[in-house]
Copies of this chain bind each other. A is one copy, B any other.
Amino acid sequence: MAKITLHDIAKICGVDISTVSRAMRADPRVKAATRKRIKETADRLNYRPNLLARNLAGGKSRTLWVIMPSLDASTDYRIVRHASHHANEQDYSLFAALHDCDNFGQLEGHSEAHYEQMLEQAAQGLTDGAIILPRRHVNDVYMLDELTRQNFPMVFVDNFIEELPVPVVTTENRKAAQELAQRCADAGATSAICLFREPNPVARTRKDFAQQAFQKNNIPSINLMEIPAHWNPDHLTDTVAIVGSSQFYVHHFAVQQAELLQGRRLIFGVFDEWTGEPSPAEKVIIAIQDCEAIADRAVERLIDIIEDRPSGKPRIEMVPIKEFKCLSSSFVPT
């Protein structure tokens, strides 16, 4: 049994195809009796409208994409999740397209092609617009400037690319980084290591403002990803703060430098989440971004562009941090 079309139903009901089309979409100008008859046979035959055809005729797909490198950070997932909900509320469907092309700068040609193909497809009518989470370890200008030139509806989320005139929704990273550092200071840290080295504007902002806050508290801080050869451990005091953008970086660094850090009191400061016990830190301070708000704003902004509504908002929209959490161990050390 092949696919049922409007044509089939029209033939069976002895009416024109256009009448069926109207009946299916509850157009008021079709007699109640005929509508009922049509709906019933449609039901009986298990008719499903062909969205490809509908979209082609209408010139729109009412579909949004989130194009992103990966989903291993919880923020990424939470953004997709809320964006999906919010899109649905406005009768759009949202899909996540992963290109897996941000492995710390080590691109395989394969993924790169994958990414390019996605952007191509986006511009070819499969979606009305896209939320873009740019790569964090590579500058995406060359990938994306063609789309911007075509005026393809896009919004950057979380991270962004300064060179492109595309709207951005992100966190108020200056205040967030300041407060994260301040809370580490308040918790007793007397020296600090920052791990903000990714080549993107968000990491740079966080680094600058975290270090500024540490400085205000007379806490010596350095920004690095690994200990340099000529490192002098005297810079570290007995209570050291380690702050970074994610648990991954901070935990990884701590494990690498276990020997150096052993015996000192540690305070970790991270963004978004900490899974498991705070160990080896005494406490972990977590700046939780407001992914719900970010996602909602991004979707609204994108739909405004698609539907050609002017939004009087600034190009870069900043969302305050949702909350700070402090995690201590539930277990007394034995």
Interface positions of A (Cβ within 8 A of B) = 46, 48-53, 55-56, 61, 63, 65, 70-72, 74, 77, 80-81, 84-85, 88, 93, 95-100, 110-111, 114, 117-118, 120-121, 123-126, 150, 247, 251, 254-255, 258, 262-263, 274-277, 279-280, 329-334
Contact = CB atoms under 8 A, between A and B. Distances in A.
6 contacts: A48-B124, A52-B126, A63-B126, A80-B96, A84-B99, A277-B279
A85 B100 CA distance: 9
Copies of this chain in the oligomer: 2
Contacts of A247: 275-276
A334 B117 CA distance: 53
B71 A330 contact: no
B334 A263 contact: yes
Given A80-B98, A114-B88, A333 B334 contact: yes
Contact of A125 (B51, B100, B276): B51
A271 to B, nearest CB: 15
B56 A84 contact: no
Best-buried of A51, A97, A99 by chain B (most CB within 10 Å): A51
A247 B277 CA distance: 11
Contacts of A332: 262
Best-buried of A55, A71, A85 by chain B (most CB within 10 Å): A71
A288 to B, nearest CB: 15
Contact of A118 (B93, B117, B254): B93
B71 A84 contact: no
A333 B330 contact: no
A315 B232 CA distance: 62
